[in-house]
Amino acid sequence: MEKIKIGIIICDRYHTCAGGKCFRSLQQREGAFEIYKDQEVEIAGYTTCGGCPGGNIEYAPAEMKKNGVTHVHLATGLLVGYPPCPRLHYFEKFITEKYGMKVIFGTHPIPQKYYTTHQNLKTWNTPFMQQAIQPTLTDEETRLSYD
């Protein structure tokens, strides 16, 4: 079985994040990492978007690709921060078209506290956001374990 090399791009608001939830969810194949449940995976890149408007998106995937990355995860923080990143669609399109890499929205499952807030505020009620959060939606018990 061929190892899949992934890269993770996080929101710069969380630039001090050590990646604990992302790494835990990859080990447990939860959230967006569930797609790798029967595959060997290696994290070969981890960085921020570079801050609004996402200047690092132009360059970071090139470095990741040099290290064998084929799948880029736009971290859950980009989906659940308030407001959610308004550039997700552009990031996906750019990375896919320029670098030929697969882009996946999310990493770890959405924590329950964020799920509740965004449901109440209706911030995910667009067709794009409904699609984007799908890989990170889980049951309430799992969401609570990521609070």
Classified as helix, coil or strand, 140 is helix
For 76-125, the pLDDT digits (tens) are 999 999 999 999 999 999 999 999 999 999 999 999 999 999 999 999 99
User: pLDDT (tens digit, 9 = 90+) per residue, 4-22?
Assistant: 999 999 999 999 999 999 9
- Which residues make Cβ contacts (< 8 Å) with residue 50, sequence separation at least 6? 12, 56, 57, 60
- Cβ-based neighbour number of residue 68 at 10 Å: 14
Whether the predicted pLDDT of 2 surpasses 90: no
Residues paired with residue 41 on neighbouring β-strands, in sequence order: 4
Helix (H) or strand (E) holding 46: strand 41-48
User: Domain 4-142's class?
Assistant: alpha beta
Give the predicted TM-score (pTM) of the model.
0.95
Closest CA to 147 of 88, 82, 80, 86: 80
The domain locations on the chain are: 4-142
